[in-house]
Amino acid sequence: MTRPLRPTLAPEDDLTAAAGVDISAAIAPLHEQRYRSPIVRPSLAADVAALIDTSFPAGGDSLEQLVAQVTNATDRYPRRNTHPGFFGWIAPSGLPSDPLAHAMVSELNENVGGYWSSPVGTTIEKTVIRWLADLVKFPQQSEGVLLSGGSMANMSGLAAALAKRCGPGYREQGLAAFSDSSKPIIVCSEAVHFSIRRAAVMLGIGTDNIVAVETDDQFRMRIDRLAEILQRHRNVVCVVASAGTTNTGAIDPLEQIAGLCASHDTWLHVDAAYGGGGLMSAELQPRYRGIEHADSVVMDLHKWFFQSLDGSLLLYRDATWARQLFFETSDYLRSSAEPTPEQYMFFHIAPELSRRFRALPFYMAMRCYGIPRLGRNALHNVQCAEYLADLIRQQDELELIVTPQLSILCFRFRPAGLSDDEIDRINSEIRDRIQLEGEYLMSATLVRGRPVLRVCVMNHATRARHIEGLLASVLRIGKSLR
pLDDT at residue 472, rounded to an integer:
97
Nearest alpha-carbon partner for 316 in 185, 147, 124: 147
Hey, what domains does the chain have and what are their CATH numbers?
103-369 (3.40.640.10)
Strand partners, 455: 409
pLDDT at residue 335, rounded to an integer:
67
Nearest alpha-carbon partner for 423 in 384, 404, 451: 451
3-state secondary structure of 452: strand
- In degrees rounded to 5, what are phi and psi of residue 145? -155, 145
pLDDT at residue 474, rounded to an integer:
97
pLDDT at residue 191, rounded to an integer:
94
Contacts of 42 (CB under 8 A, 6+ apart): 436
Nearest alpha-carbon partner for 95 in 461, 467, 477: 461
38: cis peptide before it, omega within 30°?
yes
Write the CA distances from 187 to 240, 270, 275, 324, 410, integer angstroms. 6, 12, 20, 23, 26
pLDDT at residue 340, rounded to an integer:
80
- In degrees rounded to 5, what are phi and psi of residue 245? -70, 155
E-assigned strand segments in 376-469: 398-400, 408-413, 441-447, 450-456
Write the CA distances from 458 to 92, 217, 372, 381, 390, integer angstroms. 8, 24, 17, 6, 18
- Cα–Cα dist 257/251, whole Å: 11
pLDDT at residue 334, rounded to an integer:
65
Task: In the chain, count H helices and then E strands.
Answer: 15, 12
Nearest alpha-carbon partner for 409 in 447, 374, 372: 447
Write the CA distances from 354 to 106, 146, 347, 350, 357, integer angstroms. 14, 12, 9, 11, 10
Give the DSSP H/E element, type plus range, for residue 423.
Answer: helix 420-437
265: cis peptide before it, omega within 30°?
no
Per-residue pLDDT of the chain (482 residues; tens, 9 = 90+): 788 998 999 988 888 888 888 888 988 998 888 899 999 999 999 999 999 999 999 888 999 999 999 999 999 999 999 999 999 989 888 999 999 999 999 999 999 999 889 999 999 999 999 999 999 999 999 999 999 999 999 999 999 999 999 888 888 888 876 665 678 999 999 999 999 999 999 999 999 999 999 999 999 999 999 999 999 998 999 999 999 999 999 999 999 999 999 999 999 999 999 999 999 999 999 999 999 999 999 999 999 999 999 999 999 999 999 999 998 777 666 666 666 888 899 999 999 989 999 999 999 999 999 999 999 999 999 999 999 999 999 999 999 999 999 999 999 999 998 999 999 999 999 999 999 999 999 988 999 899 999 999 999 999 999 999 999 999 999 999 98
Nearest alpha-carbon partner for 353 in 375, 321, 374, 330: 330
The CA-based diameter of the chain, rounded to the nearest angstrom, is 98
Amino acid at the residue 400: L
